[in-house]
Amino acid sequence: MDQAPTAWCSRPPDVPPLQPNEAFYDTGIECGGLRARRLKIPAHAPPAELPTLIELVPPPAPASSAPVEGGTP
């Protein structure tokens, strides 16, 4: 699967243009160093690789159970 991000860096997939107010996936692939490739993909037309790329994204860090200062417990 490491080939998909590399391929997207050299040539992003063809996606239809976004229409006003259309739902989309806002994707970003690190292409080495400080260079990144950003691509807005219409939600109704995701490329076949998108679900697999989403699986590569690490889960978010667990939320702290400590109360926030000034917040309600």
pLDDT digits (tens, 9 = 90+) for 19-64: 889 999 888 777 777 677 788 888 888 877 777 777 877 777 787 6
Residue 73: pLDDT over 60:
no
Rounded to whole angstroms, how far apart are CA atoms 5 and 1?
Answer: 8
Tokens of 35: 């260079």
pLDDT digits (tens, 9 = 90+) for 14-27: 888 888 899 998 88
Per-residue DSSP letter, 32: S
Residue 9: pLDDT over 90:
no
